A and B are shown apart, each in its own frame.
Chain A
Amino acid sequence: MFKKLFIIVMLFCVSSCVHLQSVSLTQIPAKKSKKVETEAHKWIILGFTFDNDYLDEVVPELNRRCSNGKIQGVLTKDETVNYFIGLVMKQRVVVSGYCQKA
């Protein structure tokens, strides 16, 4: 009995669910060249978070991956991953696009 209860509790505890909060997309270029992608995330414990500055590095990082180029068709996925019955979660923003070089 205790073993079954333990397994059920563990299943609930270690399961994780992902919410897709929003998606946005800019105009897609006709000529699709190299794809670049970056991700920024932040761990949140017990819901305490005081800024969203982790997103600051997304644009410079994408620019580094496409140096002296233009990134078009930018897809932004804003999602939240819940771990451990919502006490621990990860906010994740995945940004990808096509690097166009002249």
Chain B
Amino acid sequence: MKIFFAIFLVATYGCVVKHHAQFGEIDGRGGLGRRFEVKVSETGVNLSEASSVAKSLTRSKAAQKDIETVRDIISMFQMGPKTGNIVFHDDYAEKLLSMILSQCSSGKITGLSLIRESNKYPVISGEIVKVRGYCKLGKGGSSV
């Protein structure tokens, strides 16, 4: 029964945290057009939770002390304002522009909304950038 509850808790623990929302100009002349959404994500790591899990796997006081030291050293390089957990690649959001254009080749995009959010799980998280918008019809009448 306890295992069931533990699995249930882990399976359902997937809270979404919104860090930032931004909206762009909206051109409703002639209708908004077709709605599209693109999303990029990268795996983030919660250092504090990772070190807690690592510490629980060993009974050696010395090893636990070492884990704390490693956590503290890494934390010193993670100072400053940030949203969500740390990620190991900072270029994951760069492909957003090409992804948007692939969704709307006419390039007539309006009503863009950008949401930066984290999908939190134990120890790791999904660091997400989500863009929604509307693609207006091109000259040929196609919104693709």
- A-side residues, CB < 8 A to B, are 21-22, 24, 26-27, 47-52, 55-56, 58-60, 62-63, 66-72, 74, 76, 78, 91, 93, 95, 97, 102
Number of A-B residue pairs, CB cutoff 8 Å, is 81
> Inside 8 A of A95's CB, which chain B residues have their CB?
23
Determine chain A's interface SS by DSSP, over half rule: mixed
> Inside 8 A of B30's CB, which chain A residues have their CB?
68
CB contact between B28 and one of A22, A56, A66 (< 8 Å): that residue: A66
- 6 closest cross-chain pairs (CB), A and B: A59-B111, A71-B26, A24-B22, A63-B28, A78-B21, A22-B20
A59 touches B22 (CB 8 A): no
- B-side residues, CB < 8 A to A, are 14-30, 32, 111, 113, 115, 117, 130, 132, 134
CB contact between B26 and one of A52, A70, A91, A102 (< 8 Å): that residue: A70
A5 to chain B, nearest CB (A): 34
A-B contact pairs, 17 of them (CB 8 A): A21-B18, A27-B25, A49-B15, A52-B117, A56-B132, A59-B113, A59-B132, A60-B32, A62-B26, A63-B28, A70-B27, A71-B26, A74-B25, A76-B22, A78-B20, A95-B23, A97-B25
